[in-house]
Structure 1
Amino acid sequence: MSDGLFISFEGVDGAGKTTQVQQAHNYLQERGLRSLITREPGGTPVGLTIRELVLHGLAAFPSVAVTGGTDVVDASDDLAPRTEALLYAADRAEHVAQVVRPALDRGDIVLCDRYLDSSVAYQAGGRDLSEDVIRRLSLWASQGLMPKRTYLLDADPSQSESRLDHEPDRLESAGDDFQQHVRQAFLQLAQNEPDRFLVIDATQSIDQVWQIIQDDLDKLVEGREPDLPQVDDDNDDADAHDDADEDESTAGYEDDEQGAESDWTEAMDTPDQAPEADADQDDQDMEAATVGGDADDDSVPVGSRARRLLRSRLLRKTR
């Protein structure tokens, strides 16, 4: 039996569903859990065509929809409520068969932006069709597949409408009464199935809404083992190898510097095979050179024995 997890996000337009779906996906990926974002309508190639039709009407296809013997679709032409309901059911049938069930069979977590409840809320609540008929039609299309959890982001349509950043589609522009009926239908569905629905006040900030979802999501995925390919380990090994190479390279440079310094200081500390008189003279030159200045004063000629002896003593003092 599949251990996939099916989660849907519902609410009126502009409630913030899409934002929270993406938040959930990112969070699950960070935990190493494979998840899939999909949507209705439009979760398949066939569904994209249906989406254009149900959201934008016949005007979305002026080249193929012929009205009155012309290729121009009149703006008054629209889909009948039952036609709309059947199109949503067709989209759902294709979506479940081609995307959702295969993903669940693989053990994925499926995050769906709208599902069956939207059909009931919009077609029954908004279009005044029979709730029982719409529900049975949707269950037939999906072969009875229902989400384990449904997050209902609840907001007054008059408030959520202001969040829309695009031209309203057919449903978004259906009027305030339509949207209010849809909202009440969603709330009634949640009341009928309290174990599946989690109703969240969508007027809160994005972070506040997400925190509620995250807390519940943690419970739903508790005990699931990470199933994403672990690519970080290889990268860590490569990074560790590079770091080791860098350390060895740095150590080599440090050794070379220490060796060079050692050779230099040893050469400076080794007595020359010069007469003692010359050595005494060098000491006198060095003492004269350091009066009123430091051991590396520019007054000492560069390359002179006194300069070298001064640097040798300075090195020994700073160790």
Structure 2
Amino acid sequence: MSDGLFISFEGVDGAGKTTQVQQAHNYLQERGLRSRVTREPGGTPVGLTIRELVLHGLAAFPSVAVTGGTDVVDASDDLAPRTEALLYAADRAEHVAQVVRPALERGDIVLCDRYLDSSLAYQAGGRDLSVDVIRRLSLWASQDLLPKRTYLLDADPSQSKSRLDHEPDRLESAGDDFQQHVRQAFLQLAQREPDRFLVIDATQSIEQVWQIIQDDLDKLVEGREPDLPQVDDDLPDVDDENDDTGAQDDADKDESAAGYEDDEQATETDWTESADTSDQDDQSMESGTAGGDADDDSVPVGSRARWLLRPRLLRKTR
């Protein structure tokens, strides 16, 4: 593998992972370091389908999931714990093969919103499945790929859930006892691998949490050369004498043409401003919330998978 760097962000729902992932991405880009934001579940087109199923249940697919001879799926229908674990493993296998490993081979810094440790905390800790079984399953699916660093944003679920700004999914609705078991499972994982985990008190402000991550991130990327194209802001010198000679004649000659070009430029400016506004709206869906669990609004702007979420977003507004 090349000089790629794999970093994951973990924690209970509402701990602020998605916000810090975006902070890290922006910071690395400013330093000229190429980074890739992704997530689990749902980091690939296949993963998006799995994400809908594990987070929203069979009711997310009323047209394809047939129950009792009808096309109506009962909201009480749910996934068995082993089925859920296998679906997460399938998502991870596809995600690592199609996104994470290729990016690391290119030398990118991969920032992942949830990874293997979420399976261990939620399926083993919350669902009472065997930690060893879930770990072996996840390592098999990922071909033993582990992050270099895992930032665990630790918060009491009773506090962090107040940050959620969307309708709770299956896991977020599992109850306080479930969430407390998940938190304890995360902390136990961090104790077992202190060299990989950095546990951060997520009840601090966004800026305080980010400062801790930034300080550690600086150490991880120390010595890496910028690999993003650098923009040269220096404009070439203009020959003032040549610029002045005949300037008025040229202006008079091309008066009508200049007016036409101005109209085109105005049109182009309007289009650009509209695109910029759209980008800002999209970005606000990603990182404007100080918490959340990488729901639909966490898909990176420009991601090829983002358009696949539109049917679900439309469904939400109905």
Query: Same fold by TM (over 0.5)?
Result: yes
> Relative contact order, CA 8 A, sep 6+: which one is greater?
2
Distance (Å, rounded) in 2 between the aligned partners of 1:115 and 1:66: 31
Kept after mapping to 2: 8 A contact 1:282/1:305: no
Q: Segments of 4+ in structure 1 off by > 6 A?
A: 234-270, 279-319
* 1:305 to 1:224, Cα distance in 2 relative to 1, 3 A: closer
Q: Which has the larger radius of gyration?
A: 1
Whole-Å separation in 2 of the counterparts to 1:139 and 1:204: 33
**CA 1:73/1:149 → structure 2, altered by over 3 Å: closer, same or farther?**
same
Unaligned runs of 5+ in 2: 235-241
SS for the counterpart of 1:305 is: coil
Deviation at 1:79, TM superposition (A): 0.4
Question: Residue 75 of structure 1: CA displacement?
Answer: 1.2
Deviates more, 1:49-58 or 1:238-247: 238-247
> What SS is found at the alignment partner of 1:212?
helix
Q: Deviations over 1:103-157 (max 9, x none)?
A: 0000000000000000000000000000000000000000000000000000000
Q: Distance in 1 between matches of 2:306 and 2:79?
A: 99
Structure 1 contact 90–141 (Cα < 8 Å) conserved: yes
CA distance in 1, matches of 2:175, 2:255: 72
**Preserved contact between residue 268 and residue 309 of structure 1 (Cα < 8 Å):** no
For residues 191 and 70 of structure 1, do their structure 2 counterparts lie closer, same or farther at Cα, with a shift above 3 Å needed? same
The 3 A distance-change label for structure 1 pair 174 and 224 is: same
Structure 2 CA distance for partners of 1:250 and 1:288, relative to 1, 3 Å: farther
**Structure 1 unpaired stretches of 5+:** 271-278
Measured in 1, the distance between the counterparts of 2:286 and 2:54 equals: 99
State whether residues 44 and 305 of structure 2, in contact with CA within 8 Å, keep that contact through their aligned partners in structure 1.
no
Deviation, 1:282, is: 74
Give me the whole-angstrom Cα distance separating, in 2, the residues matched to 1:160 and 1:10. 13
Query: Separation in 2 of the partners of 1:101 and 1:239?
Result: 59
Higher deviation after alignment, 90-99 or 299-308: 299-308
SS in 1 for 2:298: coil
Identity across the alignment (%) = 91
SS in 2 for 1:32: coil
Secondary structure in 2 matching 1:233: coil
- Residue in 1 that maps onto 2:283: 284
* Deviation, structure 1 residue 167: 0.3
How far residue 286 of structure 1 moved from its aligned partner, in angstroms, is 76
Contact 2:35 2:111 in 1 (8 A): yes
SS of the residue 1:298 aligns to: helix
Whether contact under 8 Å (1:201, 1:209) holds in the other structure is: yes
Describe the shift of the 1:197–1:73 C-alpha distance in structure 2 as closer, same or farther (beyond 3 A): same
Offset of residue 231 of structure 1: 2.1
Partner of 2:37, secondary structure, is strand
Structure 1 residues 264-290: Cα deviation after superposition (integer angstroms, max 9, x where no partner): 9999999xxxxxxxx999999999999
Once the two structures are superposed, residues 81-110 of structure 1 have per-residue CA deviations (whole angstroms, 9 ceiling, x without a partner) of: 000000000000000000000000000000
Q: CA RMSD in A?
A: 26.2
Residue 156 of structure 2 corresponds to 156
The change in CA–CA distance for 1:228 and 1:66 in structure 2 (over 3 A counts) is same
Aligned residues: 311
Distance 1:252 1:11, change over 3 A: closer
Q: In 2 relative to 1, CA 134–248 (structure 1 residues): closer, same or farther, beyond 3 Å?
A: same
Kindly state the Cα deviation for residue 232 of structure 1 after the two structures are TM-superposed: 3.2
Calculate the TM-score normalised by the size of structure 1: 0.74
Q: Identify if the C-alpha distance between structure 1 residues 238 and 213 changes in structure 2 by more than 3 Å, giving closer, same or farther.
A: farther
Change in CA separation of 1:243 and 1:204 when aligned onto 2, cut-off 3 Å: farther
Change (3 A) 1:71 1:227: same
Scaled by the length of structure 2, the TM-score of the pair is 0.74
Task: Provide closer, same or farther for how the CA distance between residues 233 and 157 of structure 1 changes in structure 2, counting only shifts above 3 A.
Answer: same
Change (3 A) 1:238 1:99: farther
Q: Does the CA-based 8 Å contact 1:268-1:308 persist in structure 2? A: no
